[in-house]
Amino acid sequence: MKSVFLGIIIALVASSSLLYWTQPDRDSPIPVLYWITQDDEVKRETIVLFKEWLAEKNLPQVDIKIDNTNQGVMKKLTQGLAGVGSDIMDVYGNEIELFGSSGMLMDVTETAKELGFSPDATYPALRSDVLHEGKQYGFPRNAAAAMYWINKDTFARYGIEEPPHRWTWDEFERIGKQFVAAANPPGTRDRIYFMKPASSAVTMQEFRRGMGLSAYNETMTECILDDPRSVEVYRRVYRWVIELQLIPTIADASAMTADSAIPGGATFHLFAVGRYAMLNLPRWALIRLRPLGKLPLRVIEPPNTGFSNIVFGCGLISAYTNTKYPEETARFMQFLTSESFNLLVARSGDSLPPVPKYTQSEEFLRPPEHPEEWQAGEVFSSAAPEIGIPTSRSPFVQTTVFVRIESQVQQSLLAGRLTPEEAAKTQADRTNKEILITLTEDPKKKVLYAELQEVQKKIDELKAANLPIPREWITNPFHLRYYEHKGMLTEEDAS
Whose Cβ is closer to another protein: residue 349's or residue 395's?
Answer: 395
Whose Cβ is closer to another protein: residue 11's or residue 255's?
Answer: 255
Residue 315 gets the label, from left (phi > 0), alpha (psi -120 to 50) or beta, of beta
By CB under 8 A, name the binding residues for another protein.
2, 5, 74, 77, 81, 83, 98, 101-104, 189-190, 249-252, 254-256, 258-259, 321, 398, 400-401, 404, 407-409, 411-412, 414-417, 437, 440-442
Neighbours of 285 (CB within 10 A): 23
Whose Cβ is closer to another protein: residue 15's or residue 382's?
Answer: 15
Whose Cβ is closer to another protein: residue 342's or residue 426's?
Answer: 426
Dihedral of the CA atoms 464, 467, 471, 477 (nearest 10)? Answer: 50
Query: Contact at 8 Å (CB) between 231 and 421?
Result: yes
Nearest distance in Å: CB 9, another protein: 10
Q: Is the dihedral of CA 116, 117, 119, 123 positive or negative?
A: positive
Whose Cβ is closer to another protein: residue 101's or residue 375's?
Answer: 101
Amino acid sitting at position 370: H
Nearest distance in Å: CB 276, another protein: 15
3 state SS of 320? strand
Nearest distance in Å: CB 435, another protein: 14
CA distance 299 to 174: 19
Whose Cβ is closer to another protein: residue 98's or residue 143's?
Answer: 98
Nearest distance in Å: CB 418, another protein: 9
Non-local (6+) Cβ contacts of 86 within 8 A are: 34, 35, 36, 67, 70, 76, 79, 320
Query: Contact at 8 Å (CB) between 136 and 267?
Result: no
Nearest distance in Å: CB 444, another protein: 8
Whose Cβ is closer to another protein: residue 378's or residue 442's?
Answer: 442
Nearest distance in Å: CB 305, another protein: 27
- DSSP letters for 160-208: -PPPPSS-BHHHHHHHHHHHHHHHS-TT-SS--EEEE-S-HHHHHHHHH
Phi, psi of 144 (to 5 degrees): -120, 140
Nearest distance in Å: CB 70, another protein: 15
